[in-house]
Structure 1
């Protein structure tokens, strides 16, 4: 699960950076404001990669997804992209758990000696 969540968060790092470039065109926003907000969100996405598999990391990840959707107030396309990445975050959690469960079952079976790994297993 951690790998899928971290991949989603890393992609969001770049998305936030590009959204910052678009937000620079808004005459009501200063460059300092845009890059302070974007910098904090970009740093958060990278730091969350470290704790992505833990309960706190998952909750904070959902908070980042909400922040991306809310940023659509200044960059309207972020409403759509935020929802898309929210869906990716959900999928990373959902399918990541399934993969982790399958790995655990496989490890338990191979420890019992009932299944021997093939030549490709590492």
Structure 2
């Protein structure tokens, strides 16, 4: 699960960076504000990659997804991209758990044999 979630977060890191450039150029927002918010979100993505195994990390990831969707008020395309990444986040958690369970069953079967 950690690998899938980390991959999603790295993709979000890139999207947030590009969306910050768009917001600065087309949104008419001050560059300092855009980079304070966007930069914080980008750093959060990278830090979250490192703590995915700890309690509360997945919930913090959901907060990040909500923030990404809310950034659509500055850059309207982010409503779509935020929803897309929220879906990817859900899929990373859901299918990542299934993969982890299958690996555990396979390891238990190999140990039993």
If the TM-score is normalised by the length of the shorter chain, which range does it land in?
A: over 0.9
Structure 1 regions of 5+ residues with no counterpart?
114-122
Asked if 1:74 corresponds to 2:74, the answer is: yes
Note the alpha carbon deviations across 1:4-33, whole angstroms, 9 max, x for none. 000000000000000001001222x11100
Bigger Rg, which one: 1
So what's the TM-score if we normalise by structure 2? 0.96
The secondary structure found in structure 2 opposite 1:53 is: coil
The secondary structure found in structure 2 opposite 1:75 is: coil
Cα displacement (A) at 1:56:
0.9
Kindly report which structure 2 residues correspond to 1:37-52, keeping only aligned pairs within 5 A, or say none.
37-52=37-52
Structure 2 regions of 5+ residues with no counterpart?
none
Asked if 1:101 corresponds to 2:101, the answer is: yes
Of Structure 1 and Structure 2, the greater helix share is in: 2
So what's the TM-score if we normalise by structure 1? 0.89
Cα displacement (A) at 1:54:
3.2
Over the aligned positions, Cα root-mean-square deviation in angstroms equals 0.8
Equivalent in the alignment of 1:59: 59
The secondary structure found in structure 1 opposite 2:19 is: helix
